[in-house]
Amino acid sequence: MPKTPVWKSIATALTSEIAAGHYRPGDKLPTESELSARFGVNRHTVRRALQDMQEKGLTHARRGAGVFVLAEATDYPIGKRVRFHQNLEAAGRMPAKRILTLQTRPCDRDEASALQLKSGDPVHVYEGLSLADNVAVALFRSVFPADRFPGLLEDLDHMRSVTRALAAVGVKDYTRASTRLTAKTATATQALQLNIAEGAPILRTVGINVDTDGCPVEYGHTWFVGDRITLVVED
C-alpha cells in the first residue's frame, strides 16, 4: 500500500470536482487560504497541489487575482496506454521486423540514467527496422540491462519480439512508465535506412518500460516515418 502524499490527495479531490462540473472552466477556485482551512493543512501544501494541477494544464494562477480553471482542461490529456503498430495490423498489412544490430556493449550516460544503471554497465542493444509490406515504416532501438537478462539477445534473435523475449527471461508483464512524443526531421543516416529524403518528417517516441515492481527493463526509441505511420492513442 503506497502512502499517498497529502498534496496529491488534495490535487485529486480538486481535479475530481472540476471533472464533476463543480468548478467550470473559467471559474475561480477558492483562495489558497480557504482551501488550506477546508482541508486542514498548511497553505504550502495546498500550493503544492495547485502547482501539480497547473503543470497538468488544469489550472492557472494569477497573482493578486486567484486560481482559475482552464478551458483546455479536458482537451489535451492523451490516454493511458499507447499501442504502437496497431494501425498497421488493423489495416490488414503484414508487420515484420528486420534486425540491424544485436549486440552487448557498455551503456552510455543516457542509457544508464534511464535504466538506473551505472555508466559503463553492460546493456543489450536491439536495433532494427519495422516493415509493412516490405516498406520501412520505423527505426527502433531497444536497450536492456544485460546483467539482469544475460540470455536476452538469443531470445530476441529467435523470437523477434520484445514482449516474448522478456517473457522468456521472467518478465511476465511490463508497462510504459512514460512516453514522450515529438516531431523531428530525418538525419542523413535515418533517411538512408528508412529510404526517405533527408529532412522528411519523423515522429520520435522515447519510452521507458518498467516491470511490475517499477524497475526499468527497457529503454526504447522509435522513429516513425511521418508519411507512412499514424500512432493511435485510445482511452
By the criterion CB under 7 A, which residues form the site for DNA? 2-3, 5-8, 29, 31-33, 40-45, 47-48, 50, 61-67, 91-92
Residues 6+ apart with CB under 8 A from 29: 14, 23, 35, 50, 59, 66, 67, 68, 69
Q: Which is nearer to DNA, 49 or 196 (CB)?
A: 49
Nearest distance, CB of residue 230 and its own copies, angstroms: 5
* Strand-strand pairing, 95-106 and 122-132: antiparallel
The entry of its own copies, DNA, none that residue 162 binds, CB within 5 to 8 Å by partner kind:
its own copies
Q: Which is nearer to DNA, 45 or 190 (CB)?
A: 45
Nearest distance, CB of residue 112 and its own copies, angstroms: 5
Residue whose C-alpha is closest to residue 226's, from 208, 203, 192, 204: 203
Nearest distance, CB of residue 8 and its own copies, angstroms: 14
Cα distances (Å, whole numbers) of residue 219 to 64, 87, 142, 233: 44, 23, 6, 20
The entry of DNA, its own copies, none that residue 31 binds, CB within 5 to 8 Å by partner kind:
DNA
* Distance separating alpha carbons of residues 123 and 189, to the nearest angstrom: 23
The entry of its own copies, DNA, none that residue 75 binds, CB within 5 to 8 Å by partner kind:
its own copies
Which residue, chain included where needed, has cell 489495416? 91
* Distance separating alpha carbons of residues 3 and 7, to the nearest angstrom: 12
Nearest distance, CB of residue 101 and its own copies, angstroms: 19
The entry of its own copies, DNA, none that residue 74 binds, CB within 5 to 8 Å by partner kind:
its own copies
Nearest distance, CB of residue 13 and its own copies, angstroms: 19
The entry of its own copies, DNA, none that residue 58 binds, CB within 5 to 8 Å by partner kind:
none
CA angle 171, 175, 176 (to 5 degrees): 130
